[in-house]
Amino acid sequence: MSGVVEQPVMRVRGVRKSYREGDHALEVLHGIDLDVCRGELTLLMGPSGSGKTTLLTIMGLLLKPTAGRVELLGRDVTALGEADLPAIRRRHVGFIFQSFNLLSALNAVENVEVALALQGVRGRAARRRAMELLENVGLAERWNHRPDALSGGEKQRVSVARALASPAELILADEPTGNLDSRTSAQVVETLRRLAHEEDRAVFVVTHDPGLRALADQVIQMRDGTVADSIRPAGRGLVELPAA
């Protein structure tokens, strides 16, 4: 008897993106196919100029593809108008940035509470939930420290907690370890991996750091605007799968 296959949180099919440069069209993405699933940490890797940021921006519903389809929870979101997208992003997509984007005047728990307020959670309920999220990322004891008193890795973990303050099924991270040393980078990505597994979220991370590959459930390699290969850990090694 065959089991039920759960649909991906996000499915990208045949996505292309081009820009006009005078009389010419510059194509950045050339028919991207990929799936992002619950409970998995996916790394998107590739050299500068390979189209990673453009793809992430499309997946975050901040940019429309020139052609192709993006499905979020089984719904074709490329067909939606601009007026519909902010509410979809707010409920279903969380963002983590390289620059942290924390409010300097607020301490760690207050930064998380700001994100909860956007979900309508305030007061004691917000404080309780914010503390739970900081505990999940190992920062419960640093709750009352402002960003200038936190290390780079601690700031990034606060930004992870803030992203998880929303009910978003899809978490997108753009070079979240770009300003961190290798040891701290591994700690942050391990936090993301653990939260993907424990909270059943789909976590999608753009990174240049090859040292993080061993922590991922899936590694997608981009080259010249295409998916060059997709790799999944198998036992101690890595098995290459043909690109979709």
pLDDT at 238: 43
Residues 133-155: pLDDT tens digits?
999 888 999 999 999 999 999 99
Question: How far is the CA of 120 from the CAs of 79, 85, 199, in angstroms?
Answer: 28, 19, 21
> Are 206 and 44 within 8 A, CB to CB?
yes
| Of 181, 126, 123, residue with least CA distance to 152 | 181
pLDDT at 235: 41
User: What ranges in the chain are assigned the alpha helix state H?
Assistant: 52-59, 85-92, 108-118, 123-136, 152-163, 182-199
DSSP one-letter string for 66-88? SEEEEEETTEEGGGS-TTTHHHH
Helix (H, G, I), strand (E, B) or coil at 173: strand
Cα 165 to the chain's mean position, in Å?
14
Q: Which CATH architecture has domain 38-64+81-231?
A: 3-Layer(aba) Sandwich (3.40)
191 pLDDT more than 70: yes
Let me know how long the chain is.
244
Helix (H, G, I), strand (E, B) or coil at 239: strand
233 pLDDT more than 90: no
212 pLDDT more than 50: yes
For 234, the enclosing helix (H) or strand (E) is strand 226-234
> Are 44 and 56 within 8 A, CB to CB?
yes
Distance CA 131, CA 120 (A): 17
234 pLDDT more than 80: no
pLDDT at 243: 45
30 pLDDT more than 80: yes
Query: Token pair of 178, please?
Result: 């770009």
Residues 99-127: pLDDT tens digits?
888 999 999 999 999 999 988 899 999 99
pLDDT at 220: 96
